[in-house]
Structures are given as structure tokens and as C-alpha cells.
Amino acid sequence: MEQPAGTRDQRDVSPYFSRDFNGLSAWAELGELARAPYDLTASGALSPTRIRSYRTQAAGFDLLYSTQRVDEAVLAALQRLAEESGAVAQFLLMKKGAVLNRIEGYASEDRQVLHTACRDIFGPVSLAPEASAQAKGELEKLADFLAALEAGDIVNAAGEPFTDLVQIGIGGSDLGPRALYLALAAYKIPGRRVHFISNVDPDDAAAILSGLDLAKTLVNVVSKSGSTLETMTNEELVRKAFAEAGLEPNLHFLAVTGKGSPMDNPARYLRSFYMFDSIGGRYSATSMVGAVMLGFGLGYAHLMDILRGANAMDLAAEEPDIRCNPALLLALLGIWNHNFLGCETLAILPYSQALVRFTAHLQQCDMESNGKSVTRQGKPLAWESGPIIWGEPGTNGQHAFYQLIHQGTAIVPAEFIGFRTSQYGRDLLIEQTTSQEKLVANLLAQALALATGQPNENPNRRFAGNRPSAVLLADRLTPYTMGALLALYEAKVVFQGFIWNINSFDQEGVQLGKKLATRLLTHYAGQRRDPGYSGEASDDPGRALLAAAGMLAKGESG
């Protein structure tokens, strides 16, 4: 497969790998400050001055953090934590091509991390020029393809235009792209629709296929290796549906894959677009993984706006002052809540129905990146790494799990995401306020209520308060602001990994279950070929487990 793009930056990043989080002087300072964190319930704690000053801006977003349990002393200590850990310095090295996806002294992926190069394409100078040139090359291929579709140069066998596209992928090839498309459906090209098949559950594919005119449908198969089991299985299922409809699949199927992979095959695909080893799956939404589908569904101009917004936030993430860097500040506030105030989970709560799958994407981006228990030198962690990420859109969530957030025994920090105006502009006055005003009012009220609480002689109606939150607010959810929001959270996750001294770019934890599933499938296949098949070698300690699991899956008693 194609190797990572560009010249591998050989600068010595090893000193950062040896900076243990609990060995930084800011660690001890923050530990002392956490003994008496800022009291949000005190009289005057949320003053107009604090609300105005505890705010930073970048790429169209305001980050409002007056409802966090921080004061000037904590913010100063967090600034020192960022500097001692080299968070921004490592971010810049990452953007330049340093090999940061590795564990020193142990077998690892040993790769660059260049997802930012996918959108570092607008200025005269790129920090990773060869990787950016690769991204530009793929975008040019995509622009030509989309133009040919628009001009009617690429049509189906009956000379009709394609109206639908199905994206087949899983994990990072599905979650981020799906979240972006749903978020921006208001901008879709009239007469075009995009659909997604990810789960290997055959009902997922069947439900999508049942509502399509396959003759007018393109299928975009996304797999870097060209061998992802779930994706390959779904591809064959969909190819069979096309063949049964009397259609030639090779005239409908597109591929997004690694150069030289088994899927890099013009005999099977109408077009192929490349993804590269330096771009991890959960960071790949702005690569061809998301771009092909977004270009088809939204148009090339809107795709470029997504990239511009992401690039603007990437540039803001280079700012060393945490009060001018929303991604770094959000990362540090998360560390303060998680490592020093003992909060185990984080609720991400978008007050926009269009962001219905964005938290699901962030679950992967954050938990697959920072759900680690060893340092970048392979030593067991002596501190907590990534939190549990969860959430749903407001205001629906207010009528579901907000009870626990307000009055439960667990303290759940929250990150609210909202927009001052709606996407479609279809609204009306009811009791002298619009629906969008009601939405934003609920968002702000929740943040204030969590912070200040409410005393009451009735313990059942008492709210303790001091439950931290932050608010991300933009004017409108557009392709530009969506790109910025995506890049903000990508940078936040990366910054936290740098500070915790963990590798945020591999995912070894997903492999064990896959290996065992493969063994079970081998067991099933053996029994299908030979009913007397009894499994693997008798000295295999997993044989009994596999046999029992196989019986349970088939509903057999034993």
C-alpha cells in the first residue's frame, strides 16, 4: 500500500514521549487548586464581567466557558500545563509530518499524522507540502468526476443521470462522513440523495436497497486496506443486488482506498480515489473518505467551504495562548474536569437536530483515540486517560437524561453546541418568540442552571449546582462552520493525547475482538463444509469457548 505522504520529518520528538503527565510541575499545582475549585453557586460568581471575559473566538465560533469551575489561578496553571507538555509544539510537528503514531521500543504503526494536510491547501505555503499536493491531486480528480456527472458525460446505461449514492464503509469511513452529510442536508443538490450502509447486519443493507432505483444509483465503497471484512461483505451483497437487477456493477461502483490495495482495480470500479496511511480513519472525514460522498450530495463548492472552515480552525489551534485557542482551551478544561475534579464522562449536547450523529462521530474520534492505558514509551499510565463520551441533541435530551445531569450523584460536564439562526429559515412567532430563540434560550438556560443550581427546603427540588459546562456558539450551521467544528474537536482530542503522553492515532483495542470473530467464522465455515467438523487443534485453549459460542449463535443447546 502507498506509504505516508511527503518527507518524513526526522526531528527528534522523543523528548515529548518521556514527559509523563504527573511529572509536570503544573500537575502538582492543579492538584492543589482542585482542593477548592471555583464556586459557581456563590453570590456574584457568574457576573456579567466574567461571562464577557471568559470567552474566546475562532473560525466563526465563540467558546463561552464562564460556567466552568475555573478562575484566573486555574487558567494560569492550565497555560503552564500546555507549555510544559509541548502541546502546541507537538501539534505543529504533527502538521509538518513528524512520526507521532508510534510507541517507542515496541512494534507500532510508525506513521505520520497528516489529516490537517487535507485542508492545508489554500495558502501559498503548506506545512506538509507533499501531503497537501496529494490532497489537491485527489480533489482535482474529484472535481473532474463531479463536473462530468453534472454535464451528463457520466450517466447510466440508459443515458439517465445518477440520482443516488450509497456509501459503504464502517468506523471512520462511516461515522464522520455520515455526521457531516446529515448536518448539511439543507445544502444538498436538489434531486440527489446520499445513503449509508455500515453494519454487517444484512438488514441494514436490505433496508437501504429496498428504497432505491439501482439503475440510477452509484455505490462508493470505502476501505483503506481494501480488505475490511464488514465493508467487503456489504459490497458483495450490494453487487449481487445490482446483478440481480440486470445491471453491471462495475459501471456503478466507486472506490476510496489505498493506492495499490485490492480495491485499486479499474476493472471493478468506475473511478478510484486514494486515501493515505498518514490519515487515520476517525480523522479522515475531510479526505476522499468523506469528500467523494459530500461532493456528490452537496456539490464541490460546499465541499471546499467545509475544508476552508476546517483549515481556519487548524490555524487557530497553532496559537500558544490558551485564551486565543478554542481547541486547546477546551482540551485543558476537559483535563481539569477529568483528571483533577474526578469527572469520568463528558456529555456533548448539540442544540441542532442536524447534528444528530455528530456526537456518535465524536465518540469514535475521542474514545478510540484516547482510550489508552500505556504511555508512548509503553509504560502503564498512572493517570486517567480519555473520558466516556455520550450525548444526544437538545431539546430532546432535556426530556430524557438531563435529570441525571442536574441531580444525579455523578457530575457530568457538558459541552453545548448551538447556532443563533436556523439553517432553513422556516420559523414563526409563538408567544412572541421564534422556535430558534426557544432552542438557544434552552441551551443557555441549561448551562446556567447546571452552574448555579437552586436551593430549596424540599430536598427533592434542590439543585446542587457547580456542574461545569461550556458553550460553543456560531451564527449558523453552514459548510464552513461545520468544517470548523469538526476540526476543533479533532484538535481537542489530539491536544489531550499529547498532554496525557499517549498515542491518539492507533487503535489496537479493536483488533482482539476482530481476531476472535475471524476464528468463529472459520469454525462456522468448517461446520458448513463438514457437519462432523469439531474445530481447531485439541490443545487450543480457545476451542471449547469457540464451540460454545458457535452453539449459542445458532440457537443450539449443549
The residues carrying an active-site annotation are 368, 399, 514
For residue 415, list its beta bridge partners: 348, 470
Q: What is the largest CA-CA distance in the chain?
A: 77
Cα separation, 367 vs 388, whole angstroms: 7
Q: Give the strands of the sheet with 345-350, arranged side by side.
A: 55-58, 61-64, 469-474, 414-419, 345-350, 388-390
Backbone angles phi, psi at 345, to 5 degrees: -125, 165
What torsion, rounded to 10 degrees, do the Cα atoms 372, 373, 374, 379 define? Answer: 180
CA atoms within 13 A on the CB side of 304: 11
Identify the three-state secondary structure at position 90: helix
Q: Which three cell numbers stand for residue 354?
A: 442536524
Dihedral pair phi/psi, residue 16, rounded to 5°: -70, -30
Cβ atoms of residues 440 and 493 within 8 Å: no
Taking CB atoms within 8 Å and a gap of at least 24, the contacts of 397-402 are 397/349, 398/442, 398/446, 401/347, 402/446
Grid coordinates belonging to 251: 459501471
Q: Which three cell numbers stand for residue 341?
A: 475534579
- 3-state SS, one letter per residue, for 23-69: HCHHHHHHHHHCCCCCCCCCCCCCCHHHHHHCEEEECCEEEECCCCC
Pick from 172, 376, 192: nearest CA to 283: 172
Q: For the chain, what percentages of helix, strand and coil (3-state, to nearest 5) are there? A: 50, 10, 40
Does an H or E element contain 73, and which? helix 72-85
**All 3 cell numbers of residue 141?**
480528480
Q: For the chain, give me the number of helices (H) and strands (E)?
A: 18, 13
Could you tell me if 284 and 172 are in contact, meaning their C-beta atoms sit under 8 angstroms apart? yes
- What is the C-alpha separation between 524 and 54, in angstroms, rounded? 59
3-state secondary structure of 213: coil
